[in-house]
Structure 1
Amino acid sequence: MTRHPYLSPEPPRVLAHRGLVTPADAAQGVVENSFAAVAAAHAAGIDYVESDCHLTADGAVILFHDDDLSRVTGDPRKIADVRLPELEELMADRGGLVTLPQALGAFPDVRFNLDVKAEAAAEPVGRLVAPHAERVLVTSFSDDRRRVALAAARSAGAALRPATSPGSSTVARLVAALAVGLRGTARRLLADVDALQIPERQGPVRVLTPRLVRAAHAAGVEVHVWTVNEPADMERLLDLGVDGVVTDRADAALAVVNGR
């Protein structure tokens, strides 16, 4: 399997989870997924930013994790019910709202790992990333949303499809197939994806295993683990053969990777 341009050069990779918010930034009111958080990751030398996509009431794709504003701003409304200008005002003293076109345009050297959180956002995300497909990975907990976004990118004229990571149902089937030795099923589930982006555990179930890493690598697929914030865990996972860590402490993770 040919390596997607998104996954070059060679791993390991540090993916800044929702950008980078240092304690000093947080003290100034900066929040995750803000323009300032993306800028901080870029300034720290991080090549990859993991973020999330929602659609506003007036059809703008923004970088935001939750489907409502309550945790970040104290406003209980849904993102889908609020127009872009009001969201920009709410985020003005929190690091600044960033739309997907703004992120792609303002940070041309950053590779974006985009989790499509809302069904309505899938098709617009695909259209918007089409000209940037070489530096975008599209994922979602929902394989249907992920596939809609990838199809939209192709329809919008993407020279190649964005990189992609499978949804949670596909990952669950892969873990089950490997547990019972169904290697052919595992190979089929790994076809047409570029990375497995997974937690180390899901409740009582261990998702990341040496067997999974071996199977992924045999298929030419990278393994990225989220969300890893302790340097000792980063070292342990990299020793296991993991290709990337998604982390809130991207600056610390970069120091770990550079020290190996």
Structure 2
Amino acid sequence: MGHRGAKALAPENTLASMRAAAAAGVTWVEFDVMLTGDGQPVLFHDDTLRRTTGAEGEMARTPLAVVRGLDATRHFTQKYSKAAGLRFRGQPECRVPSLEETAACLLELGLTPNVEIKPTKGLAVETAETALTRLRKLWPADRPAPLISSFERASLAAAKRVAPDWPRGLLAEEFPADWRQAMAELDCVSMHLYWRRTRRADVAAVKAAGYAFAVYTVNGVRAGRRLLDKGVDCLITDRPDLLVPALG
């Protein structure tokens, strides 16, 4: 599954990144959804605008009209490739996209989304309700249902109310001691864990209980092989161009 589209191949959480993921051969992409200052769902990861766009301010205080004009290539240019970043800079598909634009792009590319609800503080329920109410109107019933994931259990509870027929995944950095209770209460289908904290026994326990096990963010082929050997079902990666041909 591509992470934020394909984060190492194109600027994260942009339409360009979704296209890069599809070109690399994945059929699923993960991305983050949060609300603008005027309550509109967009693809974005951070509370503040600076890392990916270079702009000052907080997403939760910035209206959609401003956010939609922001070029989201800054982090990609600095971390991955200055030359590629310069080619991406200024392209319409490298602006911060709305949920509506993203859904249309995914449907065009034949991709199924893992929608991570990424709320700013205090907006866990509102972000899930707004994003999923909107996405349910956009996503055709004859396409595979989106997977809804979040670190915020309140967001997953809201997702269960708004989109009860769409599957849910519980995100965690450390394997939760109360995972059985949480997965049952939130009616989840999968556990999503940081890959370096993934133990064979935990994978086995989760799968024996009837759930799938996904790990993030795996960018090396050898690490991917070890995780698959542990029984992991899904590798979420910035580098589908490496993992798909080697492990697909």
TM-score grouping bracket, smaller chain normalisation: 0.7 to 0.9
Which of residues 192, 195, 212 is equivalent to 2:190?
195
What one-letter code is carried by the residue in structure 2 that aligns with 1:44? A
- Residue in 1 aligned with 2:90? 93
TM-score (norm 2): 0.79
**Structure 1 unmatched ranges of 5 or more:** 1-14, 26-30, 155-160, 176-185, 202-206
Conserved? CA contact 1:223–1:243, under 8 Å: yes
Task: Name the CA shift for 1:78/1:217 in 2 (closer, same or farther; >3 Å).
Answer: same
- Residue in 2 aligned with 1:75? 55
How does 1:127-166 map onto structure 2 within 5 Å? 127-131=133-137, 132=139, 134-154=144-164, 161-166=165-170
Task: Name the CA shift for 1:168/1:230 in 2 (closer, same or farther; >3 Å).
Answer: closer
**Structure 2 unmatched ranges of 5 or more:** 72-88
What one-letter code is carried by the residue in structure 2 that aligns with 1:141? F
Which of residues 126, 129, 141 is equivalent to 2:132?
126
Quote the Cα distance in structure 2 between the aligned partners of 1:135 and 1:253. Answer: 24
What one-letter code is carried by the residue in structure 2 that aligns with 1:165? G
- Residue in 2 aligned with 1:172? 176
Shift of 1:33: 0.5
Shift of 1:167: 4.5
Quote the Cα distance in structure 2 between the aligned partners of 1:42 and 1:96. Answer: 19
How does 1:4-23 map onto structure 2 within 5 Å? 15-22=1-8
Conserved? CA contact 1:143–1:169, under 8 Å: no
Quote the Cα distance in structure 2 between the aligned partners of 1:19 and 1:62. Answer: 14
Task: Name the CA shift for 1:242/1:90 in 2 (closer, same or farther; >3 Å).
Answer: same
Quote the Cα distance in structure 2 between the aligned partners of 1:170 and 1:139. Answer: 16
Quote the Cα distance in structure 2 between the aligned partners of 1:167 and 1:89. Answer: 31
Conserved? CA contact 1:116–1:145, under 8 Å: yes
Conserved? CA contact 2:172–2:192, under 8 Å: no
- Cα deviations across residues 17-68 of structure 1 (Å, max 9, x unaligned)? 1112455x5xxxxx21111111111222211111101111222211111111
Aligned residue pairs, count: 216
- Residue in 1 aligned with 2:104? 105
- Residue in 1 aligned with 2:84? none
Which of residues 60, 77, 84 is equivalent to 2:64?
84
Quote the Cα distance in structure 1 between the aligned partners of 2:3 and 2:174. Answer: 22
